[in-house]
Chains A and B, each alone.
Chain A
Amino acid sequence: MDLTLTPKHRALRDEVDAFIAAHRDAAPRPGGGRKRPDRKALDWQALLLEHGYFARTIPREYGGFGAPHDVIELAIIADAFSRAGISPGIHNQGISMLVPTLLEVGTEEQKRRWIGPTIRGEVIWCQGYSEPGSGSDLAAAQTRAAVEDGHFVINGQKIWTSSAHFADMMFLLCRTEPDKSKHAGLSYLLLPMNTPGIEVRPLRTMTGRAEFNETFFTDVRVPVDQIVMGRGDGWHVANVTLKYERMLLGDPNKLQQRLEAIRRMMEQPGADGARLLDRAEWRDRLLRLQGEVIAARNHNMRLLTETAEGVDSGLGRFIVKYHGTMLGHRLASLALDVMGSTGLLYEPQGEVAEDDPATTWQIDYMYDIGLIIGGGSSNIQKNIIGERGLGLPREPKAAVPAGRN
């Protein structure tokens, strides 16, 4: 264990604090991964990239800052933005899931072409995994891509596709080798959303907004080189992406941001002039969650170190999504309780929604359940933790009732 701040680290911490103090007015609200970044968010992103507060370790030739991997530096930066309650930059499916996937298994050409514009927030991606008949059982995907004169020709349907209504690109899991076994028949393709034959139909969610969609494919033609790894490697690539998706969903820095936001609310005097932070029962609820967030953040530091040292954390990594999303929901639950009846006001449509704490916390509170389900539900995470993490046997297969499929 050596977390000594070298003079270089101290200088970085002062530098980040000074940066935040000087530029905080230029920052968009934290969050916002569920809509296309506006001018303000894009400019902020550019500023963060320029200073190396975002994509810090991504090589320069792909548009990153090119700094060597240093766990402490990343922690200092994340911590400074959480403390200040300032947006640490854009986190969306392209940036947090596709980019690390390409860094891990993409070709040089794919990295040069896609990473830069994606991390700048210019190219928005959506994830074409789930289908009406295959959610948790992702490898059962049936959307078909047949090869014809140098193209994949795609037919089928995806569902729950977040952001598809404003995305530029999709990473798609589809069946290219129908005669191979379930897992070996899949491929992972990259395609523009304006390709003819794609139709996106919004689905309204419990928040009252249309955050995800159904996506239909009719003879959609994609050049055969727009594939990550080879034909039949789709299950492998999809799981690389899922690994990063699950880290994103369990991100402890987001939890820290939320905790700080709740603490600030509790420090404000209420109508009776008293602060909730001064009341033991409220303070204890916040402190309990703080303890859990600290554990999650320390655990994250350990995982980052292990990754940097080439150790696969196994169990330590498998728990992150389940742990983080459940904790996120408990934080949102506390936020609603802190706001009480004024937190019931709800106007989810339009720009005001983003600036209204009651509405955003209500959205988070509901959307968190979506995050508990999406990216592999809590039950699926517990299967993985139990089977791959702890070595318990798999559930025996039960027969499907006659006449059902």
Chain B
Amino acid sequence: MRFGLTEDQGLFGRSLRGFLADRLPLDALRRLAEPGTGFDAELWRGLGELGLHGLLVPEEHGGAGLGMLDAALAAEALGYHAAPAPFAAALVMAVQAFRSAGDAEQQRQWLPRIAAGQARIGLGFAGLAGQTGRAALRLEGGRLSGALDGLMDGGDATHFLAYLPDGRAALIEAGAPGVTATLRRSVDRTRALVDLDLAGAAPVALLQSSNDPLAAARRVRDAGRVVLAADTLGAAQNMLDRAVAYANERVQFGRVIGSFQGVKYMCADMATMLEPCRAMVWYAAYAQDAVPEEAAMAASHAKAHLAEVGREVARLATEVHGGMGFTDLLGLHYQFKRITFDRQALGGPERCRHDAAVAQGWIAA
């Protein structure tokens, strides 16, 4: 009975962070972020070697069979280093989509390919999660037509999982006839968005075996919200750590600036806001697997709260760095933009809080 990480989880988080620190020094990050696709084959391979691809895939399908808390720790590390790697959609939401709405055969066919890093699935959730953009898909005679904007992890994806308004999801192959995928670079150059235009595309799988497809879709949404919250936690922690380090080293008026209370208090405020977020993210992640009655509320609240705290930390940490913080030189802006992205993806905080109210039965959906 404990509220905390296991030794293994601590180790996992640290080794992933060590790996990313090693692979993503600023000049490398700059280079990988430049194209804005949110994907780099070598980094992707390395993450696979650490077991990230099959993190949530059950062991029988070739994965590690770990849980959402482990996924959140991975997301935190990826956010900390602003890693240009598909994760939230490709390795968390897609897996949960197959697990909650795929039939046995679909799971047997696709989960091992995800775990092997071969199927990299971009995912579009517009409408159901409060994202803006086009979201008009129709399935007629087994063919998919219409438009869906803002797919996550879509850069260099092998497949797209497109949610229909009724909660079913269609898997389509990138490059198949009738599929036009337009890569849109986002302000966060470490993660792209893809706009999909479909003209009679044939899905390779239709995930529809849940009794309640909308509820299954919401669980996928919640899993995504938890990892985006964790991503912000990591990015904000990175910005705070760097602000504290800078405050300990930059000298003005003959003193290190961290000895000025004005600066010290900015750091103290960031720590005070951010520290409780860690436990909040842990709990929200854990609840997805272990506390079903609180899972939806915890996920939406964590996403919303981290968005608010993340925005404050992003501003304050930049400010502590003075003019340097505003430059491209330090690369602090990669985390800043990560936080910007996480806030809007899968619904902004107002929408998430609305969903939390619905989950608690305060109001009707």
Contacts and interface: CB of A to CB of B under 8 A. Distances in A.
Bind each other? yes
B1 A385 contact: no
A21 interface: no
A391 to B, nearest CB: 7
B283 interface: yes
B357 A1 contact: no
Contact of A3 (B1, B271, B278): B1
Interface string B323-365: 0000000000000000000000000001001101100001100
B248 A3 contact: no
B353 A288 contact: yes
A389 B271 contact: yes
A383 B264 contact: yes
Nearest to A392: B258
A308 B269 CA distance: 27
Contacts of B1: 2-4, 6, 70-72
> Could you tell me the dominant secondary structure of chain A's interface residues?
helix
Interface stretch (A96-104, A172-180, A291-299, A367-375): A291-299
Interface stretch (A44-52, A84-92, A277-285): A277-285
B2 A323 contact: no
Given A298-B276, A393-B258, A305 B4 contact: yes
Interface residues of A, number: 51
A70 B72 CA distance: 26
A396 to B, nearest CB: 6
Interface string B267-288: 1110111011111101100100
A396 B255 contact: yes
A305 B3 contact: yes
A387 interface: yes
A304 B3 contact: yes
A353 interface: no
A1 B4 contact: yes
B270 to A, nearest CB: 9
Contacts of A3: 1, 3, 286, 290-291
Interface stretch (A155-163, A226-234, A235-243, A314-322): A314-322
Contacts of B269: 382
A259 to B, nearest CB: 12
Contacts of B3: 1, 3, 71, 298, 301-302, 304-305
A390 interface: yes
Contact of A386 (B258, B280, B301, B356): B258
Given A3-B291, A284-B350, A390 B268 contact: yes
Nearest to B355: A287
A306 interface: yes
Contacts of A277: 362-363
A399 B362 CA distance: 57
B264 A387 contact: yes
A333 interface: no
Interface residues of B, number: 49
A379 interface: yes
Given A283-B357, A305-B4, A389-B268, A296 B259 contact: no
A308 B1 CA distance: 11
B28 interface: no
B353 A319 contact: no
A367 to B, nearest CB: 21
A316 B275 contact: yes
B301 A315 contact: no
Contacts of B179: none
A288 B308 CA distance: 9
A283 B360 CA distance: 12
Contacts of A294: 280, 283, 298, 301, 305
B265 A386 contact: yes
Contacts of A2: 1-2
A386 to B, nearest CB: 4
B290 A319 contact: no
A387 B263 CA distance: 12
A5 to B, nearest CB: 9
Nearest to B264: A386
Please indicate which of the listed interface residues B6, B301, B354 has the most CB atoms of chain A within 10 Å of its own CB. Answer: B301
A302 to B, nearest CB: 4
B219 to A, nearest CB: 19
Nearest to B294: A294
B247 interface: yes
Please indicate which of the listed interface residues A295, A316, A322 has the most CB atoms of chain B within 10 Å of its own CB. Answer: A295
Contacts of B280: 294-295, 298-299
A395 B276 contact: no
Interface of B: 1-6, 69, 244, 247-248, 255-256, 258-261, 263-265, 267-269, 271-273, 275-280, 282-283, 286, 290-291, 298, 301-302, 304-305, 308, 350, 353-354, 356-357, 362-363
23 contacts: A3-B286, A6-B1, A71-B3, A277-B363, A294-B301, A295-B305, A298-B3, A301-B3, A305-B3, A306-B4, A309-B2, A319-B271, A319-B272, A322-B268, A383-B261, A386-B258, A386-B267, A389-B268, A389-B271, A391-B248, A392-B248, A392-B264, A395-B259
Interface of A: 1-4, 6, 70-72, 263, 277-278, 280, 283-284, 287-288, 290-292, 294-296, 298-299, 301-302, 304-306, 308-309, 315-316, 319, 322-323, 379, 381-383, 385-387, 389-396
> Top 4 closest A-B pairs, CB basis?
A299-B276, A298-B279, A386-B264, A291-B305
